[in-house]
Structure 1
Amino acid sequence: MTPALQFGRAEAGVGYLVRPTAFGLVFHDERLACVRVTRDAPYHDLPGGAVDGDETEEQALVREFLEETGMTVEPVERIVEAGQYFRKSDGQPVNNVGGVWIARMIALDPARKVEADHELVWLHPRTALAELRHEAHAWAVAAWLRR
């Protein structure tokens, strides 16, 4: 699986697990929905994550938004396919490969969030550009801003 765009650098001699993913851009009141993840060192990501089993990207996006933020979303448009080499918090080398979607917020119920280490934060898109952990996510935000 070769993505249209590839971000990050693969370390020589390291085998990267290709991990199908879907991430989303949801804008509300001129702010972008992001998640602040509090693990070893806190960081910001776009909501989203791995595509499980036979899920489509759209199904994974809806599930991940609900798990991470309590937000119910409707996928609207897939704006890019990108890969991102990185090491997960447990050290596992992965290449997240999948779509970044524009999505619409349908409802927000924080009680439905299940990932305790994820917190929904609304960032100005330019702040998100500087704060997002993954280059692929920042690229998607920049692409959306230029539309």
Structure 2
Amino acid sequence: MPIITFGVKEEGKEYIWRPAAYILMLNKEKDNIAVIQTADGKYFLPGGGIENNESHEECLIREALEEMGMQIQVGRYIGCAQRYFYSTNEYKYFLSEGHFYQCEIGEQTGNPTEEDHFLRWIEPAKAIESLFHEHQSWAVVKSLHD
């Protein structure tokens, strides 16, 4: 099955492939989804780049602690999608390959270590329209309809 791809690959640009794993987590009432708001006001799903030889699960667990200060239980795999984009923070072109997982809230173990990341709980419809990366919005839609 081909991977769904968002964004446009610009001719003559060199893209850095960045595999990543992301968390889709609904609260107990199932009416709000966890998102991370960065200091510049952008919204992202919790998660991020896979480091070294991490498994998807190891990446998700590490990112949950870094960004939300909580443990999670990794659940079902939702799917994979990718996005071509230019990072205005790093001044580089990336092909982000996101692997998305439904996760359950675990124990709050402390404060997030990433000081410019803030956990927000918002309605899925708002998340879909507000997430910075289109492949993350795609994953929210897919998780709600599977």
What is the root-mean-square deviation in Å for CA atoms of aligned residues?
1.5
Residue 20 of structure 1 deviates from its aligned partner by 1.2
* Identity value in percent: 31
Aligned to 1:54: 53
Aligned to 2:23: 24
Distance 1:11 1:79 in 2: 28
Aligned AA for 1:99?
A: H
Distance 2:98 2:141 in 1: 17
Aligned AA for 1:143?
A: K
TM-score, with length taken from structure 2: 0.91
- The structure 1 segments of at least 4 consecutive aligned residues displaced by more than 2 Å after TM superposition are none
TM-score, with length taken from structure 1: 0.91
Gaps of 5+ in 2: none
1:1-147 to 2 correspondences below 5 Å: 4-28=3-27, 29=29, 30-39=31-40, 42-88=41-87, 89-111=89-111, 113-147=112-146
Residue 87 of structure 1 deviates from its aligned partner by 2.2
Distance 1:109 1:84 in 2: 32
Residue 109 of structure 1 deviates from its aligned partner by 3.8
Gaps of 5+ in 1: none
Distance 1:60 1:78 in 2: 14
Distance 2:91 2:61 in 1: 27
Residue 119 of structure 1 deviates from its aligned partner by 0.2
Aligned AA for 2:47?
A: G
